[in-house]
Amino acid sequence: MQKKLIALAVAGLFAVPALAQTNVTISGKFQAGYDNYSVKDCQVASDCRSESRFSDQSSRVIFNIVEDLGGGLKAWGQLDSRFQVDTGGSNAAGTNQWASGNTGMGLMHASWGKVTLGRWDVHYDEIWKYIGGNRAGSQQTNLADGLMSQVATTAGGAATAQTVGFATRTANLLMWDSPNWNGFTGQLGYSTNPTANEGSGVTTAANSGNAGGGYAWSAALRYNNGPWAAGYSHYSSKSENRQEVIVGGTNVAAINDLTGDRIWLGYKFAMGLKLGFAYDWSSNDNGAAAAVGTTKQKRGAWYLPVSYSWGPHAVYASYARAGDTSNSAAIDTGASAWNLGYDYAFSKRTSMGIFYTQLNNKTGGNYNLKSLGGSGATAIGSGAAGTTGLGADARQWYIGMTHSF
């Protein structure tokens, strides 16, 4: 109630007449901590480095607006804005991206569900949302959105860790969420350009063809009722900046078309024990066939989260493994990761915890932890931005706190 009153007071500064018909709420969280991140076992010893730092962990403020249109129909809007507790910036990149989280608008009705137009999570967040999760860990403890959302590939002869589902939100999205049918829910989404503004494709004499032709679509079916949680999701995208250089009937330009499928199953025992399992198979058609031999590179990965909670206490453990990438010029491109953690809930809204996470690449692997790898941030080490360097291992100690409002 207090949050609604505050939101109404803020909104009243701008549009007092609308408040008689519109419900406005403000929510969000502060989440930050202290961590030590390091890269070990580098092929070049001098490239191994470490850093201790204060780090924000996706703090945010969310504005929700709902208007009752009558007959059960409602208009809604959400603005999710991220901010950095440690630096005061708007997001990790230090840019002023006001609506950097799940942001959209649409219509909803109890009988047919919810329609969204905006920028929203699809596919990559499904596993963590339903069978993973912790209260006070860093983003890097989320192996389901880290290693499980990357594919170690070779493009032009260079190894990278390409993310599938972009390990972030899908832009320019039209999405439908079903009502809840006795625990079953479904979701369908389509984007005319999943990563950027429309019409950003480029056509030149060297890469003629499909400029501005990007798209993505996603689908999910879930069951979440009582102790059981299960589901399947699919993601497929074609790059907006597609280049087409046809040699012998094959496109040898870098195109980065992505496909991902994942299934998951979880069970929560009455005593507080929670078990889960997920499997992901993803591919990246990165083109450049003349350099790597075969364009479409695939890998399978699996994830096993376990947690146990009693009173205000909770302990967590998880393990994930990505297999070697098929059709790749590199060999031994897989990786594994695991973590352990504990957190304590001072209240329903405030928790504090300590976690250790480690990722081990095989000799040709180039994976990294979430938000230190393919999801965009620059990692420590010899690799390109977002990578650790071939065969290097990433480790993190983290102690942090979260407060929801």
Here the CATH number for the domain that contains residue 299 is: 2.40.160.10
pLDDT in tens, 257-275: 788 999 999 999 999 999 9
Contact status, residue 287 vs residue 293, Cβ threshold 8 Å: no
Q: In this predicted structure, which of 38-47, 187-196, 257-266, 306-315 has the lowest mean pLDDT?
A: 38-47
Point out which residues pair with 224 in neighbouring strands: 229
| Torsion angle of the four alpha carbons 13, 16, 18, 19, in this order, in degrees rounded to the nearest 10 | 90
Angle at 254 between CA 248 and CA 260, to 5 degrees: 105
C-alpha dihedral sign at 166, 168, 174, 178:
positive
Is 140 strand, coil or helix?
helix
Domain count, the chain: 1
d(CA 31, CA 351): 10
Residues 6+ apart with CB under 8 A from 166: 124, 194, 195, 237, 258, 375
Residue 159 identity: A
Task: Read off the DSSP letter of residue 4.
Answer: H
- Please check the confidence at residue 73 and state whether its pLDDT lies above 80: yes
CA distances from 135 to 23, 103, 145, 201 (A): 28, 23, 16, 40
The answer to whether position 149 is within a domain reads: yes
The answer to whether position 66 is within a domain reads: no
- Name the nearest CA neighbour of 164 among 176, 148, 177, 180: 148
Q: Which pLDDT band, with edges at 50, 70 and 90, does 286 fall under?
A: low
pLDDT of 271: 95
d(CA 266, CA 278): 9
The answer to whether position 84 is within a domain reads: no
Q: In this predicted structure, which of 129-138, 147-156, 289-298 has the lowest mean pLDDT?
A: 289-298
Q: In this predicted structure, which of 43-57, 175-189, 247-261, 322-336 has the lowest mean pLDDT?
A: 247-261
d(CA 38, CA 52): 9
The answer to whether position 4 is within a domain reads: no
Residues 6+ apart with CB under 8 A from 5: none
Reading the block at residue 197, the tokens are: 């503004």
pTM score: 0.84
Query: pLDDT > 70: what percent of the chain?
Result: 72
pLDDT of 187: 97
d(CA 82, CA 92): 9
Q: Which pLDDT band, with edges at 50, 70 and 90, does 284 fall under?
A: confident
Q: What is the mean pLDDT of the chain?
A: 81
Query: pLDDT > 90: what percent of the chain?
Result: 47
Q: Please report where in the chains the tokens 């709902």 appear, as a residue.
A: 66
Q: Which pLDDT band, with edges at 50, 70 and 90, does 391 fall under?
A: confident
pLDDT of 337: 95
- Name the nearest CA neighbour of 233 among 301, 165, 180: 165
- Please check the confidence at residue 373 and state whether its pLDDT lies above 60: no
pLDDT in tens, 187-220: 999 999 887 666 544 444 444 445 566 889 999 9
The answer to whether position 229 is within a domain reads: yes
Q: In this predicted structure, which of 18-32, 67-81, 153-167, 207-221 has the lowest mean pLDDT?
A: 153-167
- Please check the confidence at residue 3 and state whether its pLDDT lies above 60: no
C-alpha dihedral sign at 54, 396, 363, 317:
negative
Reading the block at residue 176, the tokens are: 């439908």
pLDDT of 185: 98
The answer to whether position 266 is within a domain reads: yes
The answer to whether position 80 is within a domain reads: no
pLDDT of 205: 45
pLDDT of 92: 53
The whole domain housing 244 covers 31-58+91-102+112-404
The answer to whether position 15 is within a domain reads: no
Q: Which residue has better confidence, 39 or 210? A: 39
